[in-house]
Chain A
Amino acid sequence: MSVTHETPITFEQIERNFREIAPPLTEAEAVMEANRCVYCYDAPCTRACPTHIDVPSFIKKIASGNLTGSARVIFDANPIGATCARVCPVDVLCEGACVEKTLMDKPIEIGRLQRYATDAATSRGRELFKAGVSNGKSVGIVGSGPAGLSCATYLARLGYDVTIYERKELPGGLDTYGMASLGELETSHDAVFLGVGLGATARLGIPGEGLEGVYDALDFIERIKTREWASVPIGHTVAVVGAGNTAIDAVTQARRLGAERVLMIYRRSAREMPAYQYEYELAKQDAVEFWWQTAPVEIVADATGSRVASLRCVRMELGEPDASGRRSTQPVAGTEFDIQVDMVVKALGQQKRLDLFGQISGVELDAAGRVRVDKGTMQTGNPKFFAGGDCVNGGREAVDASQMGKLAAQGIHFALTGERVELAGAKIVSPKTSGLH
């Protein structure tokens, strides 16, 4: 990615802008907050967490000063619990369900408490779980995202010889092998888990997509994560095409990088936008301009013919809702107009990995390109292959992928040994409810 723009603000300012929105809790804050939790029974927060972490249990352990135990409760149900503590959309998950939100509109800060407990345990470096006694069986894990890491962790605890294949180099020295040939894996392992995620961002399919100054949202966001500001592209006026959570990420990041004007271009209306409401609120606070019912038709080059100069758009008309409830869109003839921009970010959503799954006989995809699995065991149409995460659900949250990795570990264990294990938070065990009244 060549960087041709100068940021309008200093790197120090950018650094300040990117400081985490919710800073870590201090010990005093954590204990105070933990004590506010009423210790619900069959807690709504635990039900709302896709990995069903026993939230009241880990919170009360913070209150009692048992941070090791607290972290163990978290990681037991969610091996990527430290990451989830930072990236989960808690407003729509655990905190959204918290009774303290119902009682006084002030949910317990579950995410930040989770981070407090996991950070404390990580910094102590105490081993929380041990690898199981080897059972002589080997499993290949393709992809080291949330799904793959979760599945690998549980299998290692169950005594499997686990090999992770990752096509990218991983920071943190995780022992990984490169891009996997799926055919080979089938013969070298007793079972294979596919946690390969989604593919590249969909193309806009309009002229000018290859111009300098046009970026893929995922590349852009990944580049920001390195925190090497000199290598992060940014323009004065940035147009982001799309209105999903990735698009929201891109607009808010562009703002923090110092872009003076940030536009979000979406062909439907605010009502249809796929982003979460609170993400939208965040973008609104960042003074992002929303261009609803607007679609790009061409990226126009400057005089040199190589750089983006403007985005040509057309107004869209919304038709009747289709079977899925989404309304069709239709360009309104003669409404083309140009917006002066010096950077365009494509955030149309990610494509499915059709190419990859075509290599494995028996693995089937649904109409939307998602891998078909048995919901309980995550087994694909090929009994040796299991799958989970974005490639199965079409792209949701890290925590959903983590849960699928856990279910797959149970499924693989059952397929290879015939033994059923119940991993923490695999399912919610509810008290009996009465059918009377």
Chain B
Amino acid sequence: MADLSVNFAGIKSPNPFWLASAPPTNMGSMVERAFDAGWGGAVWKTLGEPIRNVCSRLAAIDLGPQRMIGLNNIELITDRSLDVNLKEIRECKRKYPKHALIVSLMVESRREAWHDIVRQVEDTGADGVELNFGCPHGMSERGMGAAMGQVPEYTSMVTEWVKEASSLPVIVKLTPNVTNIVPPGRAAVKGGADAISLINTINSVMGVNLDTLVPHPNVGGMAAHGGYCGPAVKPIALNMVSELARDREVGVPISGIGGISTWRDAAEFLLLGATTVQVCTAVMHYGYRIVEDMIDGLSNYLDDKGFASVHDIIGRSVERVTDWGNLDLNYKTVARIDHSKCIQCNLCHIACEDGAHQCIPLVQMNGTRFPVVDEAECVGCNLCYLVCPSPGCISMVRLDDGSHPQTWRELSSKQPETMTGD
């Protein structure tokens, strides 16, 4: 059986599955139950000056029968006193010495305030701290959370303050509410961060109640934007993780967060450069028990693929991500339809007709109409393959005409005029 244990910037964890700082890590009894269920680590619900929350706080987006493909919250940091939290952290770490226990922090932008809280945390025996520079609502209006993470200079400065006061590994949790994730990532490293975690939630308005005309979630007839998370944000998170994993100046371990619900999601984050993953929404949806299949599935996957340890796949797909300009313009694939599996829904036809390149005519064959790809016209966009509901029916096959790979970058270095791509 493959070795799932990881060493994340000096923090040891029996597996790469951590709970993200959120309601599932609100207090000691919860974190202890999570560890019993199999979670390798937990990032405690963000500590700071206790706040008052509003009611209600959550809203979600459903897709057909699938509930909560995206979740949004306007909850703030912990509403429990610092003393109670610290006491429970100490007990929890004592009971679970082999698990990774990280404490998330957010205090006002004052050096002493950060020094004070980080010293208290270190005293509990916790394994590390995570600086919450990501909360996009409420806290940011008070100059904390995303207000920090959106300004690289602040990110560096606060990270330095924390490093001054503690020898604990420091993880900086980044906000995705920036146009480019690389500058904040570099700023954290410049400030001395031992690791980076991302993404925090994305600014969002979840929808509007069509009867009351009030957006969700309704707080006494009013609403405010919140932070978006859950399965729907996974692609955004994967992009940001891979961007930082590719960046030579970053070079610290990454804890991947955003839409992870299964071992498959986790494996993708690991392949794109994450050393650990953090989960919130999926646990809020189904409970701690989901970690069982995450562990089991990842372990079976590693065994099936012949990897001895989870470290063997970390970052393995990073080299497969490049800039568009380095892609081979001569690489050609076309769609091919296996008519024995075709159920004649004609979705490929209408998708190609109205959304692609009009190259799947319906053709009468032995009295039945079948979609047939005109390979000469097919641009290999994948759309039909994506919409086909019958498994294995449409495949994308490579057409190798023997031409040499050629990238846009190579081409444009030969021809001076500008070329545009999208």
Contacts and interface: CB of A to CB of B under 8 A. Distances in A.
Q: Do A and B come from one complex?
A: yes
B362 A434 contact: yes
B350 A41 contact: yes
Contacts of B350: 41-42
B94 interface: no
A107 B65 CA distance: 17
A35 B364 contact: no
A436 interface: yes
Interface stretch (B168-176, B189-197, B330-338, B339-347): B339-347
Interface string A40-52: 1111100000000
Contacts of B345: 38, 40-41, 43-44, 99
A63 B343 contact: no
A81 to B, nearest CB: 23
A332 interface: no
Interface in B328-384: 343-347, 349-350, 353, 361-365, 369, 372
Nearest to B351: A41
26 contacts: A32-B65, A35-B64, A35-B65, A40-B344, A40-B346, A40-B347, A41-B345, A41-B349, A41-B350, A42-B350, A42-B362, A43-B346, A44-B344, A102-B343, A103-B343, A103-B390, A431-B346, A431-B353, A433-B363, A434-B362, A434-B364, A434-B372, A436-B361, A436-B363, A437-B365, A437-B372
B362 A431 contact: yes
Given A38-B389, A42-B350, A433-B361, 10 more contacts: A40-B345, A41-B349, A42-B349, A42-B362, A102-B344, A103-B389, A103-B390, A435-B363, A437-B363, A437-B365
Contacts of A43: 345-346
Given A35-B65, A63-B64, A41 B365 contact: no
A278 interface: no
A63 B63 CA distance: 10
Contacts of B372: 434, 437
A432 B364 CA distance: 10
Contacts of B353: 431
A424 interface: no
A97 to B, nearest CB: 9
Interface in A198-214: none
B264 to A, nearest CB: 23
A337 interface: no
Interface in A399-437: 431-437
A88 B132 CA distance: 61
Which 4 residue pairs spanning A and B have beta carbons closest together?
A: A41-B350, A35-B64, A434-B361, A99-B343
A44 B389 CA distance: 15
A210 B363 CA distance: 60
A41, A433, A434: residue with the most chain B Cβ atoms closer than 10 Å: A41
A129 interface: no
A221 interface: no
A96 to B, nearest CB: 14
Contacts of A36: 65
Contacts of B347: 38-41
A42 B363 contact: no
Contact of A41 (B64, B346, B361, B364): B346
Contacts of A431: 346, 349, 353, 362
Interface of A: 31-32, 35-36, 38-44, 63, 99, 102-103, 431-437
B359 to A, nearest CB: 11
Interface string B373-414: 000000000000000011000000000000000000000000
Contacts of B346: 40-43, 431
B369 to A, nearest CB: 6
A99 B345 CA distance: 6
Nearest to A434: B361
Contacts of B65: 31-32, 35-36
Nearest to B349: A41
A28 to B, nearest CB: 9
Contacts of B363: 433-437
B296 to A, nearest CB: 27
Interface in B254-286: none
A42 B389 CA distance: 16
Nearest to B364: A433
A434 B372 CA distance: 10
A177 to B, nearest CB: 46
A99 B368 CA distance: 14
Nearest to B362: A433
Contacts of B390: 103
A39 to B, nearest CB: 7
B361 A99 contact: no
A433 to B, nearest CB: 5
Contacts of A432: 361-362
A434 B361 CA distance: 6
A436 B369 CA distance: 12
B367 to A, nearest CB: 12
B336 to A, nearest CB: 14
B174 to A, nearest CB: 36
A432 to B, nearest CB: 8
A99 B344 contact: yes
B369 A433 contact: yes
A334 B365 CA distance: 55
A76 to B, nearest CB: 22
Contacts of A44: 344-345
A40 B344 CA distance: 8
A70 to B, nearest CB: 16
Interface in B222-255: none
A63 B64 CA distance: 7
A190 to B, nearest CB: 42
Given A38-B347, A102-B343, A103-B343, A435 B364 contact: yes
Nearest to B354: A41
B343, B365, B372: residue with the most chain A Cβ atoms closer than 10 Å: B343
A35 B69 CA distance: 15
B345, B362, B389: residue with the most chain A Cβ atoms closer than 10 Å: B345
B240 to A, nearest CB: 31
A204 B347 CA distance: 53
Nearest to B369: A433
B69 to A, nearest CB: 13
Nearest to A433: B362
A58 to B, nearest CB: 16
Contacts of B361: 432-434, 436
B291 to A, nearest CB: 28
B233 to A, nearest CB: 22
Contacts of A38: 345, 347, 389
A88 B363 CA distance: 31
A52 to B, nearest CB: 16
Contacts of B369: 433
Interface string B120-147: 0000000000000000000000000000
B391 to A, nearest CB: 9
Contacts of A99: 343-345, 389
B349, B353, B362, B365: residue with the most chain A Cβ atoms closer than 10 Å: B362
Contacts of B365: 437
Nearest to B66: A35
B340 to A, nearest CB: 12
A40 B350 CA distance: 9
A109 to B, nearest CB: 15
B281 to A, nearest CB: 21
